[in-house]
Amino acid sequence: MIEKIHVNLNLNSYNIYIGNQLLDDISISSVFLNHKNSVIVTNETIYNILLKNKANSNFYNYIKDIKFFLIQDGEYYKNFKTVESIISFLLNQQYGRDLSLIALGGGVVGDITGFVASIYQRGINFFQIPTTLLAQVDASIGGKTGINHALGKNMIGSFWQPKGVLIDINFLSTLPKKHFISGIAEIIKYAIIFDNNFFMWLEKNLLKILQLEENKLLFCIKKCCELKASIIENDEKENGSRAFLNLGHSFAHAIETYSGYGKWLHGNAVSVGIVMASYLSFQLGILKKDDLFKIINIFYNIGLPIKGPKHMKPNDYLILMSRDKKVLNGIMRFILPISIGKVKIFSSIDKNILLNAIKKFQKKIYFFNS
């Protein structure tokens, strides 16, 4: 069964296809792959998986004549050096503006490929074939592209929509368990932001998702894609409600920058970030204690972290969050849950109150069991 979601952005509209073993369905994969004018950007890990399965893969037979460009695996390499290496390759091969780039990989591959596509010869087409859970439910959709800077995560980038997204859950069986669990953080995020019923469904079904039960997995991915598509259609460039999707990300990006890119998986940092945002909301008298406990428990029960780096101090968070993209006119903005299924943007939270909340979070953690 193939699920199709249309993202309606007028001239930038595209389809998201979701299913199992879609890459072996030539009627679908041929939409994404034109070997005459395509380059696949991926990493060695994904490339080796393709080689390992080439004997019984229609997909591999279809792409064997397409040029590959391999980048190094990991968040650490999401930088200008990698971007320059891809652009140099494309220029040396004399590719023109009729080139299409295909991002085959996780969020790092997608972010870099999309960014290169947005700036190469003032913009070329690209397609997303996400291979990680995190990329399938979040990063591959919506056109956010970018790279990191030493002073902040995703500080350099652009909005550049893909021409299509192909989500094949067959790839998820190749993921290390810790990476799969990391991706679940983004799924929980959607439930906390938008849908209490979905949150309750996740409480009952997360273990089945972890076991890669196909029907549950497909439902879950489709749900997240539908929610994100709806938000993007109303706010493509993040001038309003799309900012809700940044729940927990101010804290998460601070953790990733402090620790060094790649030391913390993004989903793990988001898990901690959402717990910290929820605790801040509780301290401000907004979020009820019962909802706070539910949020903490759902992350903890699936095996996600709920505490940040041991040696990261409250002031470290404050300094790094003050450089975040969500800061406007020097004022930090936070997306905080006001209940499960509903969030709100808060500005002008007094820095002393914020600092005190982080201190309490780090000390008064009687509800943490790890």
Is 266 a residue of the active site? Answer: yes
Read off the pLDDT of residues 333-361 as tens digits, 9 standing for 90 and up. 899 999 999 999 998 888 899 999 999 99
82 appears as a binding residue in the annotation: no
User: What residues have CB less than 8 Å from 25, skipping those under 6 apart?
Assistant: 2, 19
Read off the pLDDT of residues 76-107 as tens digits, 9 standing for 90 and up. 999 999 999 999 999 999 999 999 999 999 99
Report strand pairing: 342-347 vs 333-339: antiparallel
pLDDT over threshold 50, residue 366: no
Please tell me the number of Cα atoms within 13 Å of 161 on its side-chain side.
18
Written as one letter, the residue type at 158 is S
Is 186 a residue of the active site? Answer: yes
132 appears as a binding residue in the annotation: yes
Is 242 a residue of the active site? Answer: yes
Is 323 a residue of the active site? Answer: no
Average pLDDT, the chain: 92
- Given the residues 20, 222, 238, 256, select the one marked as catalytic: 238
pLDDT over threshold 60, residue 368: no
Nearest-angstrom CA–CA distance, 41 and 96: 17
98 appears as a binding residue in the annotation: no
Percent of the chain with pLDDT over 70: 95
- Given the residues 20, 125, 179, 186, select the one marked as catalytic: 186
- Given the residues 20, 43, 125, 144, select the one marked as catalytic: 144
pLDDT over threshold 50, residue 370: no
| In contact, 50 and 23? CB cutoff 8 Å | no
Query: What domains appear along the chain, each with residue ranges and CATH number?
Result: 3-174 (3.40.50.1970), 178-363 (1.20.1090.10)
Written as one letter, the residue type at 350 is D
